[in-house]
């Protein structure tokens, strides 16, 4: 018979994969950034306009983290003024269906909270 605490724990490999997924989307702004980029390529200033509540420092940090994780690509163009664009990688795009479902879950529960 398996101990009770072992039954409640997910398999190590499963836990590792879920933890990795949460590392990618955790943070107040990462999910929004991924969804904003969806099928678009946006410049830093465009992202800044669409997320006015985020500070410059936090936005730059979140973008850098998502680039490091391989979720988005940062393209720098040697122009005056310098142009930097962000786009989702194929890995980032593969997460979109699940992230859209998260919006639907939020809507379902939002309706629940509105009704109470």
- In tens, the pLDDT along 13-48 reads 888 888 888 888 887 899 999 999 998 999 999 999
Q: Is residue 4 part of a domain?
A: no
Q: Is residue 2 part of a domain?
A: no
Q: Is residue 3 part of a domain?
A: no
Residue 2's pLDDT band (cuts 50, 70, 90): low
Q: How far is CA 14 from the centre of its chain?
A: 20
Instruction: Write out the two tokens for 105.
Output: 């879950």
Judged against a pLDDT cut of 70, whether residue 112 lies above it is answered with: no
Q: Is residue 87 part of a domain?
A: yes
The C-alpha angle 24, 89, 67, rounded to 5 degrees, equals: 50
Query: How many domains does one find in the chain?
Result: 1
> Which pTM was predicted?
0.78
Q: Is residue 28 part of a domain?
A: yes
pLDDT digits (tens, 9 = 90+) for 40-69: 999 999 999 999 999 999 999 999 999 999
Residue 60 sits in a domain whose CATH number is: 1.10.10.10
Beta bridge partners of residue 75, listed in sequence order: 85
Q: In which residue are the tokens 């973008």 written?
A: 63
């Amino acid at each position: 018979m398996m101990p009770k605490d072992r039954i409640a724990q997910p398999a190590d490999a499963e836990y590792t994969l879920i933890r990795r997924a949460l590392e990618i989307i955790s943070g107040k702004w990462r999910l929004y950034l991924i969804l904003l980029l969806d099928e678009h390529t946006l410049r830093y200033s465009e992202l800044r306009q669409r997320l006015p509540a985020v500070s410059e420092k936090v936005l730059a940090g979140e973008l850098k983290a998502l680039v490091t994780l391989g979720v988005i690509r940062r393209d720098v163009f040697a122009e005056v003024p310098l142009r930097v664009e962000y786009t989702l990688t194929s890995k980032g795009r593969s997460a979109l269906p699940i992230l859209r479902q998260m919006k639907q879950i939020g809507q379902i529960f939002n309706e629940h909270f509105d009704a109470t």
